[in-house]
Structure formats: structure tokens, C-alpha cells
Amino acid sequence: MSDQLQRRPARPGDMLDPVRTGRGAEARGSWTEYLVLFLRVMAAVSLIKGLYHWAAVCGVGAPADGGFEAHTRAWQAATVFFAVLDLVAAVGLWLAAPWGAVVWLTSVVSTAMVEIFFPQIYGGSILIALIAVALVGVYLALAIVAARERPK
């Protein structure tokens, strides 16, 4: 019984990764850090975009007769969709949670599709669709390079 109560020495595999506080010099400037920085910047952009859509829903800055209800049902549905989705994506991206990138990708691809295939909703800006595709490309490139640098 006394053998079971004795503490055994800690082994390297016993330490949990999230608990570590020190970072090695090799971790600075890693692709993973660049990916997290990109995710944080996209979180800020998604937050601003979500708040913009909520301002449209609430009628902030709209003329008295040109508020949310004055628009078409398609515009209303798309605006509410992006108002919710962009804020959820912003939280997930800021936390660098795996689901945050999925929600953000859904939002960005949906934005591009609405702009390309439904120009009557937001005006059909090809520039916005190209920016969305470029952002997805940057994310995928950073995610692939960051995954390759992890030790196996």
C-alpha cells in the first residue's frame, strides 16, 4: 500500500502542452503564429462586418422610410444570415478554435456566392468576390504550411 502512495518522478510525457508557459526560441516567427495572427485579423474584420449587418437590421443610419423592412425579402434574409454568421465566426476565429475557421469559411464563401450568383441582393461586386477568394487562398496556404512545420 505504501508503494502506491509514493510519488513517482515526473516524465516528459506527463506534462500537458497547454500548461507550458515557456516558449522555445524556435517557436518565434513560426507559420502557426502567422496563421493565428491571420485568424485574429479576420476575426476583427468579421466582427466589423457582423456589426455592420446588425446596424442594417436595426436601421442605424437609415432614413425613416428606408429601414430594414423597406428592402426585399432576399436582402433581409441575407443580411440577417451574415449578421449572425459573421459574429459567430469572429468569436471562433479569435479563439483560434477549429469550428471558427469552418464558420468563417462558410461566411466568406457565402459572401462570394451571393455577390456572384445573386447580384440583385447586394449589387454583385466582383471585387468583393475576388477578395473573398484571395482570403480563402491565404488561409489555406497558411494552414498547410503551419501543419507541415509541426513535429510528428
Cα Dmax for the chain: 81
Residue 10, domain member (yes or no) = no
Residue 20, domain member (yes or no) = no
Residue 4, domain member (yes or no) = no
| Mean pLDDT (whole number) for 6-22 | 54
Residue 6, domain member (yes or no) = no
Residue 65, domain member (yes or no) = yes
Q: Which has more confidence, 28 or 33? A: 33
Which structural domain range is residue 48 located in?
Answer: 30-148
Rg of the chain taking only CA atoms, in angstroms: 22
| Mean pLDDT (whole number) for 3-18 | 56
What is the number of structural domains in the chain? 1
pLDDT tens for 93-128 read 999 898 999 999 999 999 999 999 999 999 889 999
What's the confidence (pLDDT) of residue 150?
Answer: 72
What's the confidence (pLDDT) of residue 19?
Answer: 46
